[in-house]
Amino acid sequence: MTRQEKHGIRDIYFSQWIRRSLPDSSTGFSVSDIDFMLWNWKTKSFALLEIKCRNVEPSVGQYKMIKNVHRWIKKGLDDNWKYYGYNLITFEGDTFENGRVYLNKKEITEKELIKFLSLEF
């Protein structure tokens, strides 16, 4: 069974600490979190996810980082592993019930997204 959330809230202490303590972006330093990493160790497949709500787009810096990480992973993939990309999921609202959902800027149904995120190709 999939492990359940323990707290139901996101602790932002470390995110705030990074912003206060590490170099400013004007130095070329950049930080971005990965929202989810999905993998199936039996089928040797995985994908990365960035989630945005209320039609928010990744910042220019985050978008560049996503593209670079995607390219770097594709270059260095172990034999027999399948990589299904660093994917952007965008909600018009913040759930399936209050707006459309997009996978890499293409509208997708909840059922289609479940299949994609289950790495069933």
In this predicted structure, what is the pLDDT of residue 1? 61
Burial class (CB in 10 A: 0-12, 13-18, 19+), 70: middle
The Cα 7–Cα 5 span in angstroms is 6
Residue 83: its H or E element? strand 82-91
Three-state secondary structure string covering 54-71? CCCCCCHHHHHHHHHHHH
- Over the stretch 44-54, which tens digit does the pLDDT of each residue have? 999 999 999 99
pLDDT in tens, 49-107: 999 999 999 999 999 999 999 999 999 988 899 999 999 999 999 999 999 999 999 99
Q: Which tens digit of pLDDT belongs to each residue from 16-39? A: 999 999 999 899 999 989 999 999
User: Distance between CA atoms of 62 and 23, rounded to whole angstroms?
Assistant: 16
Residue 9's pLDDT is 75
